[in-house]
């Protein structure tokens, strides 16, 4: 992997924000079509908001499950199931970074909400345990003052999937070397895990609500801003920022979620690095991959599952005489989703013992992302972030 990111909100567009990448001010570029304008109008209500609502609904169920949990690992099945539902819902929305979920340094209307909800790959389970040990989560301003790697889904997942009263810190960390953790005892650790989880899920709920409000026509109405290109450098800029979500499949899915565990990344110095799998608990990592691909399909066709069919990038391609490319991308999406379904999980086991299955998935995703970064961008005259423009593998 050539780049590591402090936050995924800053992933897709740093080069463009700095004035780099393919220019969208080409005087030879065609006029912005009515179909493209329809896409900008439709993507909020047909793709973004339904995905965010699904996540918010799942967080509500997770909140109840956390409230019912006493912190005992043996009693965690219900809260883990609710967590899996919420995580899968969010993974389906991970590509939707235009606007409030995205980085305030990159995206128009960005509020950095994604990293507050889920900061992977910036995670630190040891730091989460340190907060538990000193009960720092009990501070009234904890959610407002904490780093992203001690809040959100990643921190909550660590707490509820712990199998015993141990911690994730090395032996030489003060928490262990001075006996701080051992002095707590399992009963206190379990009680604090439940309390800490309650704080974290309240933060998830508040942030999910803020995200929905930001897209609500009666609230922040970012969908209206996107449709009218308010605050953007024109409609082309607005369309570019929506399209960047498709690059999640390249940097995050292909390289980090699959390539690194497979040993295809220089950061992995052995044949495989199963410990680098995104979610170490159960079979959530493979479900995340499948949800990412479903999110990519929703963004490309402009329709979230269960929503009425609206205009997407495929319709724009057909309208502009590139129906063959639309069909190619849909076929490549089909192939990637089929390859993901064929992997026998857990993913951490599969990269070692069923490697060919994961390599086939990686190859299918690579074919798809290469098309996105080459023909798709060229035909629609989109602006890629500099990193995306330079990396066509």
pLDDT digits (tens, 9 = 90+) for 328-350: 999 999 999 999 999 998 999 99
Q: What is the pLDDT of residue 13?
A: 43
- Torsions phi, psi for 110 (to 5 deg): -65, 135
**Concatenated DSSP letters of 181-233:** HHHHHHHHHHHHHHHHHHHHHHHHHHHHHHHHHHH-TTTT-HHHHHHHTTTTT
pLDDT digits (tens, 9 = 90+) for 158-215: 999 999 999 999 999 999 999 999 999 999 999 999 999 999 999 999 999 999 999 9
For domain 8-18+31-390, say whether CATH 1.20.1420.20 is its number.
Answer: yes
Q: What is the pLDDT of residue 17?
A: 39
The answer to whether residues 196 and 137 touch, using CB atoms and an 8 Å cutoff, is yes
CA dihedral 326, 327, 329, 333 (to 10 degrees): 130
Cα-based distances in Å from 363 to 252, 272, 278, 337, 347: 14, 16, 19, 12, 16
Task: Tell me the torsion sign for CA atoms 384, 265, 121, 136.
Answer: negative
Tell me the two tokens of residue 310: 């609206």
User: What's the rounded Cα separation, in Å, for the pair 362 and 278?
Assistant: 15
Q: Whole-prediction pTM value?
A: 0.91
**Concatenated DSSP letters of 106-140:** TSTT---HHHHH--TTS--HHHHHHHHHTTGGGST
Q: What is the pLDDT of residue 355?
A: 98
- The share of the chain scoring above pLDDT 90, in percent, equals 85
Helix (H) or strand (E) segment spanning residue 296: helix 284-301
The least confident of 12-26, 71-85, 151-165 is 12-26
Q: What is the pLDDT of residue 386?
A: 58
**What are the residue ranges spanned by the domains of the chain?**
8-18+31-390
**How high is the mean pLDDT of the chain?**
91
């Amino acid at each position: 992997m050539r780049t590591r990111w402090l936050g995924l909100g800053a992933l897709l567009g740093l080069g463009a924000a700095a004035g780099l990448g393919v220019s969208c001010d080409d005087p030879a570029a065609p006029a912005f079509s009515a179909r493209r304008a329809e896409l900008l109008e439709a993507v909020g209500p047909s793709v973004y908001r339904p995905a965010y609502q699904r996540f918010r609904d799942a967080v509500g169920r997770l909140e109840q499950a956390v409230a019912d949990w006493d912190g005992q690992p043996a009693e965690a099945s219900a809260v883990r199931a609710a967590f899996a539902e919420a995580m899968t819902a969010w993974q389906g929305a991970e590509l939707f970074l235009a606007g409030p979920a995205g980085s305030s340094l990159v995206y128009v209307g960005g509020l950095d909400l994604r990293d507050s909800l889920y900061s992977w790959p910036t995670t630190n389970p040891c730091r989460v345990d340190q907060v538990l040990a000193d009960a720092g989560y009990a501070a009234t301003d904890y959610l407002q003052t904490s780093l992203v790697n001690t809040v959100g889904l990643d921190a909550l997942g660590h707490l509820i999937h712990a199998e015993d009263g141990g911690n994730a810190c090395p032996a030489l960390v003060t928490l262990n070397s001075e006996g701080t953790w051992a002095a707590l005892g399992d009963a206190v650790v379990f009680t604090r895990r439940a309390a800490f989880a309650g704080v974290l899920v309240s933060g998830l709920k508040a942030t999910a609500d803020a995200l929905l409000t930001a897209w609500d026509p009666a609230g922040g109405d970012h969908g209206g801003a996107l449709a009218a290109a308010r605050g953007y450098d024109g409609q082309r800029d607005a369309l570019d920022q929506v399209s960047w979500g498709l690059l999640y499949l390249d940097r995050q899915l292909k390289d980090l979620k699959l390539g690194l565990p497979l040993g295809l990344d220089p950061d992995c110095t052995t044949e495989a690095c199963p410990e680098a799998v995104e979610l170490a608990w159960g079979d959530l990592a493979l479900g995340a991959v499948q949800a990412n691909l479903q999110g990519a399909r929703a963004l490309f066709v402009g329709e979230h599952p269960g929503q009425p069919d609206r205009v997407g990038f495929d319709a724009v391609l057909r309208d502009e005489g590139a129906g063959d490319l639309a069909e190619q991308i849909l076929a490549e999406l089909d192939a990637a989703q089929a390859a993901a379904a064929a992997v026998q999980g857990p993913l951490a086991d599969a990269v070692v013992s069923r490697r060919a299955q994961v390599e086939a998935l990686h190859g299918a995703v690579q074919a798809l992302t290469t098309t996105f970064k080459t023909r798709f961008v060229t035909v629609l005259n989109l602006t890629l972030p500099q990193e995306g423009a330079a990396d066509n593998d």
